[in-house]
Copies of this chain bind each other. A is one copy, B any other.
């Protein structure tokens, strides 16, 4: 994976927020909307951008699309995601997102992918 391509993915705030949230576990688009409070198009397009460059994977579950970080990310990606985690803790926006995610968490399955689909089937 080309280093520049990784950084291109990281140089947009919305995408940083998506990746920061994803570090906590897989999530579907509608939950991203709730956590980031951004319109569906915006979220969807940035996820598509990330997916095309291999920064995230996705899987359909019924009506929902569940996005996740790659299971075995290449070295450069792993390093940069770790670095992002390291830096994101200080930023209020990222912290607020994680707070909202946590408020959502009780409704999510503890075991399955943390998504609407899982919520529904339980």
Instruction: Give residues in A with beta carbon < 8 Å to B.
Output: 3-4, 7-8, 10-13, 16, 75-76, 79-80, 82-84, 86-88, 90-91
Nearest 7 Cβ contacts at the A-B interface: A7-B11, A7-B10, A83-B83, A8-B11, A76-B87, A11-B11, A4-B13
How many protomers of this protein does the assembly include? 2
What's the nearest-Cβ distance from chain B to residue A1, in Å?
10
Q: How far is the CA of A79 from the CA of B86 in the complex (A)?
A: 8
CB A49 to nearest CB in B, in angstroms, measures 13
**Please, which residues of chain B bring their CB within 8 A of the CB of A91?**
3
List 14 extra interface pairs beyond A4-B11, A4-B12, A79-B87, CB under 8 A. A3-B16, A3-B87, A3-B88, A4-B13, A4-B16, A7-B10, A7-B16, A8-B11, A10-B10, A75-B87, A76-B87, A79-B83, A80-B83, A83-B83
Nearest-neighbour CB distance to chain B for A17, whole angstroms, equals 10
**How far, in whole Å, are A75 and B87 apart by their CA atoms in the complex?**
8
A-B contact pairs, 21 of them (CB 8 A): A3-B16, A3-B88, A3-B91, A4-B10, A4-B12, A4-B16, A7-B7, A7-B10, A7-B16, A8-B11, A10-B10, A10-B11, A11-B11, A75-B90, A76-B87, A76-B90, A79-B83, A80-B83, A80-B87, A82-B83, A83-B83
